[in-house]
């Protein structure tokens, strides 16, 4: 684990997608480091698999303060993902996540899932 990421993680899976897992209470320095790592991993995904498929796991997220939204929106607007699946999003986070997701260029490439296996299946389809 990278200490700058707190408990968060960003990992490439052998099947050709990345998992970004946000854990616990988020703050600006930790989230920005996580997003930087996600961008580096995007470049590796493109070089290895020619596409960017991303699973964002919110199942262990406990807080995401409103002040984190602008930086996250900027990241979303400049990320050229082919598919992005959001998993484990708690009800209180859905309005914030919907606001962030509006920045993603192709809205058809974004889906929300309650089941992690279904999210992975869709990413790989």
- Torsion sign (Cα): 104, 1, 19, 86: negative
Q: What is the pLDDT of residues 12-44, one digit of tens each?
A: 999 999 999 999 999 989 998 999 999 899 999
Strands of the sheet containing 53-63, edge to edge, are 9-13, 17-25, 53-63, 83-87, 110-113
pLDDT in tens, 52-91: 999 999 999 998 888 887 777 777 776 777 888 999 998 8
Q: Domains in the chain, ordered, with CATH?
A: 3-124 (3.30.750.24)
Distance (Å, whole) CA 20 – CA 3: 15
116 token code pair:
């992690």
């Amino acid at each position: 684990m990278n200490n700058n990421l707190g408990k968060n993680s960003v990992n490439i899976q052998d099947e050709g997608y990345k998992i970004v897992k946000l854990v616990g209470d988020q703050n600006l320095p930790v989230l920005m480091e996580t997003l930087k790592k996600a961008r580096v991993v995007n470049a590796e995904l493109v070089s290895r698999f020619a596409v960017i498929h991303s699973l964002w796991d919110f199942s262990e997220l406990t807080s995401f303060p409103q002040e984190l939204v602008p930086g996250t929106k900027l990241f979303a607007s400049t990320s050229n993902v082919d598919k992005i699946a959001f998993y484990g999003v708690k009800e209180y986070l859905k309005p914030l996540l919907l606001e962030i997701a509006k920045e993603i260029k192709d809205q058809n490439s974004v889906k929300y899932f309650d089941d992690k296996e279904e999210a992975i299946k869709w990413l790989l389809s």
